[in-house]
Every structure is written in structure tokens, then in C-alpha cells.
Chains A and B, each alone.
Chain A
């Protein structure tokens, strides 16, 4: 627990809002309600928001937990560069997208939820946060000697027996007693 990263909550809220927006839109269109054009817009905006919000940002401090299968979304969102990195842009985008939802009952809930998400994003932006993609860490290729095909991953706690014997001339400097006696000529 540390300083709150508002963007994390804004992300959850906006994702939920996108789903609600889209669902309201689907109901409006399926039921052929008055103002179904707004419902159509609601579906489009809701889906767009979901796609934008699905990839989680890398956290400033601590481990980031990815959503399942978010890598392809991360790549797409990353491609827009500063537009998606900056949370001010996101806050205003969400605010703009939510407005048409207020004109029809089915999408009103999505509108308000997205509006709240936009406000939390604004708070995140004011606190200086920004979106960072979570990319898989590429391990630097290990330098291996030619004679070693597969170096062991973990060093063994106990060295092999031949290295346990200390050289006789270094006996005085030995940190421990030898398990077996050592003569100068081995």
C-alpha cells in the first residue's frame, strides 16, 4: 500500500462504464426505443472504451498484474503514443464520449459511470500519472562458454566434493576444518 495511483481505479471504473454503456446501447437498439441512434452510438463508444481500457498500465511502484490476453491490446494502445499515454487526453475523451449517452434513458447509466471515470482520470493526470505499457521483459542472452551446453540455472549450495578439499599450503587460511586429511602431495 502506498500513495494511491488513481489511474488504477479510473481504469476499473472506465472499463465497467464501457461495458454498461455498451449494454445499455444494445438494449436500446434491440428494443427499438426512441432515440435508438444514441443507443447505437452508445454501443460504439462502449466498445471503444473497453478496448482502450482493457490493457492495464504498468504501475509506478510495485508489481503490475496484467489482465488475461492483454498483450495485443497493449500493442495497439501503445501505437497511439502520446494520445493514449497522457491521462488528460483520456479524461477529456471519456467526458466527450459520455455526453451523447445522457440523451437516452438506456445509456444514461453508462454516461454517468464514464463521467465518473473521466473525473478519476483527471485526478490521475493532475497527480502526474501516465500510461505505461506492460511489455514482457526480454532477458539478455546469457554468455555461455563453448564447453557448456546448458549452464545450471541455480548455483548448487554444496560444491562438488573435489572442491571441498583445501590445498595444503592454504591450510592456515582455511575457514573450516577439512573432512579428510590433506597431504601436500595429493
Chain B
């Protein structure tokens, strides 16, 4: 039984996936628990009279409110990337699988955001009923009607009232805009809606600035959230009042409350103190610390030592920063104050940890990258002095799971298009480890697949592969790295050129000895070939590319893992 369970876990091909699902289930479970717990918490005696007016809508509003407290507490945590990096570094000593969970921070952030939106919807709908019922009980002027009688309580001192709507000459809309709870509610809901609509994938991928700036409405959101309960609008009987006035017994005698000779004095009501701040103050402080850390790191001096303009609209920046330590496949955020004070953009590091500088390859696709290109002298032909180069700030590095590459004897690296970038770092690092540091590197063979729709982007990476190829031939290690470049799309005119050049020794596109292949790889064949070549080993499969490819490769790993060779799939998410 245990053995089959064990086999099942192994065959899941990515244990961290299971761990992640367990984590999500636990989170969901806590949500459900809080919902039910707080739903029931408002069915007690203290709220008897509140329920006389509101019915179960009270519980329907308070239960999602508790879940909202919980989720708003959680939502700030996944985006404290420095904190996560620190945690990751510490956890790594215990378990790499656990450490990798922290890389799915953004997925979790979005999940929590959707849950917040869901609970907000329930909360608002319940409150719509609450407002309506409160209003009704003020308008049904009839002293034999309990809700009306209840609404008149506390008219003298204006503190021990039950119904937050104090007069019948108003309407729910006006009340909403004149109570703290209502006004903050509107503000934070609007902020939430604007944040969500500008975070839609279409907007996020096309206009990052709109997404990023609108997202800062979360500051307004949290301020409003903390103030939302300050007005103490959720009211119930005070505990002292319940002791002397039992609602179960006294509710039917409401016409004689407080009069001589009854057991039932008038009930006294009070509002619940605000609770939300207790939930969110911790994460808010952590987030402020996170921003301070980012600011501090951004003030650290970064010097651009080399700028390379690659013809394929790619800008390579080599920089030095004191005390900067990285691992393969990590990414950094770069800011250029002369272009924009507020924008930080993520780029994968293409340098290896063994090098003395850090480098990124930046594709020029938008305003910010275009401005960076100009600032670094992209359009000038003269050599620029070092002091004229713009000042940049670097935050990071932030981790992904690429360092696991070195744990495998045989490695398959698959990069699609620009997804090949982290592998530049990996390849360089493996090379350095093998050659210059003479370490006994565990990794013995790398199969590298690069799928590209167009030839232009090959440029700088092809240069890297060329130099690696040369060095490997010198060291007589040409077998170490086997790379396959697949051109998945081409124009007719280009095809004619390929046809003519097929016999050339170097590939017409990349100039490499190994020829470029056309179309998409036949993964079945590739996996079978590797399985045959390396029986009995664990092969690590690493992908940086689109989801469809991830699914395909995952399936291949699963189906080709037989007795002996085991394919273990790791997907990067950038």
C-alpha cells in the first residue's frame, strides 16, 4: 500500500505540484472554516434583535467579512519578494521542494485576489439587504412592530442604538455615503474593481505601466479597509444588557420594556470594535519593510561596464554591483531613474555566477526599453564614455528553480523563443564549472533545445553557442553539449536560401556546426533516444516556454519514464 503510494508520488513527476495543491487545499479549507464559524457566530443571543431586523443577511455579511480579513492579510505576503527570497534561502537548507513553492507567489497572489473579489461580492449583496431592511424598519411607523420599536432605541443619547439608520427622512444611498463604513466601502470596492480590470492579462502584458500604477490603489484599499469598521456599525446587545434582558424571553413583551413591573428593562446596544486592523497590520508592516529594502538596494551603486548592441534589437548590459551574488537562472529588477523614477522592470540574468559581472539581455519592445537604448547611446556610433552612461539601480536577484539543473546527471533544456534567456546563464555556468574550476561536476551531458519562430532573435545566443562550441572542441569535449535549434516558422524567400546553403559546413542561420532543424521537434523520438542513451539515470527536463509546450513535455516525461530512466519535469515561470 505504501509502496504504491510512493510510486504514485514519483509518477506525479513533480512532487512540488502535489505540495502546492495541498497548500491550496489548506488555504481553501481555512476560508470555508472561517466562513462557517463567523456565520454561526452571529446566530447567538447577543444579535437576536439585530436578526429581528436583518434576518440571516447579518450572518451572510459577517462571514465573508471574516474571510476578507483573512485574505487581505495574505495578499500582501506573496509580493514581498525580498522576504520570500530570504525565506527561500533559509528553507533551501531543509528542503528544495518547499523552497520552490515560494516561486509560485504570483499564482497565489492572483488566487487570493479572486477570492477577495468573490467574498466582496457576497458581502456587498448581503449588505444591500441589510440596508434595505434597516430602512424598512424605520419607515414602518407602527409601535406594534418590533423592528420599528427597536429602531427607536437609543434615540436619546444616540449611542445605545441598534439601527444605524437613525431617521426615516433618508434613503439607503444617502446613508451609504454618510457613514464611515459606507463611504470606505465604496472607495475600497472601486479601488478593487479598478485594480482587477487593469490587471487583466491583456492589459498587463501590453501596458505594464497602466497595470503597475493602477495597482498602487491598493494603498487606498488598505487604508479604507482598516477604517471600514471604525464607525462600529455592526451592533448587538451589550453583554451586561443580555444578563438582565434575555431576548428569548423578552422579545414578545416589547411593548412593555422598561415599564414598571416587568422583568425586561430596555436593551442596550453597542457596536463591535473594528477587527480588521489586527489581521492586516502585520503584513502591512512587512510590505513597508519590503519596499524599504527595495529602496535601499536601489541606492546601492551599480556601474555599467559594457554595453553591447546586438542587431536583433537586443541590448546587452554588463554591470557591476558590489556584493552581488546570484545563482543560475535568476532575475533582477532594473530601474533607470533618468527614464522613470517609478518603473522597475524584470529581466533574466544571462551571466553565470562564476563571472565577475552581471549581464542582462534586454529586448527593445516598448517605451522604457527604447528609452534605455537611447540613453545607452544606441543610436550613436561613437564610443560613449563610462560616465555618460545612465545610472541604473538593480534589485534582486530573485530566485527560480534553475539551480536544480546541476543536480541531474543528464539534463534536457528546452527554451522557446525568448525563453532561452535563463539557459544562457545555465550553459555558461556549467561551462565554467567544468573547465575552469575543474570541479567534479555531476552533470555529464546536456541536451539543449531551442525553438524559435524567427531568425533574428538568434543573434546573441548564437554567438554564445558559437564560443561554447569552439571552447568545447579545444578541450575535446564536443560531446558534452548537444544542442538542437528548431526554426518553427520561415518565409518562402528564406527557405530558398536554406535550400541552396544546405551543404555548407556551418549552418546558414546560426553559423554553428550543428545544423538548424526546421519545424517542431518530434518529442517522442527525442525522449526515446535520450532514454536509450542513458539507461538507468535521472534526466532533468527544464522548460522555459508556453503552457502548451509544458503540457506536451509533461506528458512525454510521464510516458517515457520507464524502469531505469526517469524523466523529471521542471517548468519555469517567468
Contacts and interface: CB of A to CB of B under 8 A. Distances in A.
B206 A62 contact: yes
Interface in B360-401: 365-369
Contacts of A106: 128
A27 B125 contact: yes
Interface residues of B, number: 45
Contacts of A95: none
Contact of B197 (A13, A28, A56): A13
Given A31-B132, A105-B176, A8 B203 contact: yes
B115 interface: no
B366 A108 contact: no
B32 to A, nearest CB: 23
Nearest to B519: A154
A109 B189 contact: yes
Contacts of B209: 1, 4
A93 B122 CA distance: 29
A24 interface: yes
B366 A109 contact: no
A159 B365 CA distance: 37
B197 A9 contact: yes
Contacts of B129: 27, 31
A8 B197 contact: no
Nearest to A32: B132
A17 B518 CA distance: 47
B198 A105 contact: no
B483 interface: no
Given A9-B207, A102-B173, A157-B518, A34 B502 contact: no
A1 B499 contact: no
B190 interface: yes
B557 to A, nearest CB: 29
B187 to A, nearest CB: 10
B53 to A, nearest CB: 15
B495 A4 contact: no
Contacts of B498: 157
A110 to B, nearest CB: 10
A105 B171 CA distance: 9
Interface size class of A (residues with CB under 8 A): 35 or more
A122 interface: no
A155 B132 contact: no
A86 to B, nearest CB: 22
Contact of B207 (A4, A103, A112, A179): A4
A31 B495 contact: no
B499 A156 contact: yes
B495 A154 contact: yes
Contacts of A8: 202-203, 206-207
Contact of B124 (A16, A109, A113): A109
Contacts of A34: 132, 135, 171
A28 B132 CA distance: 10
A104 interface: yes
A80 interface: no
B203 A12 contact: yes
A112 B519 CA distance: 51
Interface in B493-536: 495-496, 498-500, 502-504, 518-519
A158 B172 CA distance: 77
Contacts of A59: 206
Interface in B185-224: 186, 189-190, 193-194, 196-198, 200, 202-203, 206-210
B368 A105 contact: no
Contacts of A62: 206
Nearest to B199: A12
Nearest to B182: A105
Given A34-B135, A155-B499, A156-B499, A1 B208 contact: yes
Interface string B156-180: 0000000000000001110010000
Nearest to A175: B500
B190 A9 contact: no
Contacts of A157: 495, 498-499, 502, 518
B70 interface: no
A65 B207 CA distance: 14
A22 interface: no
Contacts of A104: 173
B499 A158 contact: yes
Interface in A93-152: 102-106, 108-109, 112-113, 116
Given A1-B208, A1-B209, A155-B492, A12 B200 contact: yes
Interface in A64-96: 65
Contacts of B210: 4, 9
Nearest to A12: B197
A17 B135 CA distance: 26
B203 A105 contact: no
A80 to B, nearest CB: 24
Contacts of A4: 207, 209-210
B515 to A, nearest CB: 9
Contacts of A103: 173
A175 B518 CA distance: 23
Contacts of B196: 16
Contacts of B197: 9, 12-13, 16
Interface string A36-69: 0000000000000000000010010010010000
Given A56-B202, A157-B495, 10 more contacts: A27-B128, A31-B128, A34-B132, A105-B173, A106-B128, A108-B186, A116-B194, A154-B518, A158-B499, A158-B502
Top-8 shortest CB links A-B: A1-B366, A155-B495, A105-B172, A12-B197, A13-B197, A4-B207, A157-B498, A33-B132
18 contacts: A1-B207, A1-B208, A3-B367, A8-B207, A9-B203, A13-B193, A13-B194, A16-B193, A16-B196, A16-B197, A33-B128, A105-B128, A105-B131, A105-B171, A108-B176, A113-B190, A113-B193, A116-B194
Interface of B: 121, 124-125, 128-129, 131-132, 135, 171-173, 176, 186, 189-190, 193-194, 196-198, 200, 202-203, 206-210, 365-369, 490, 492, 495-496, 498-500, 502-504, 518-519
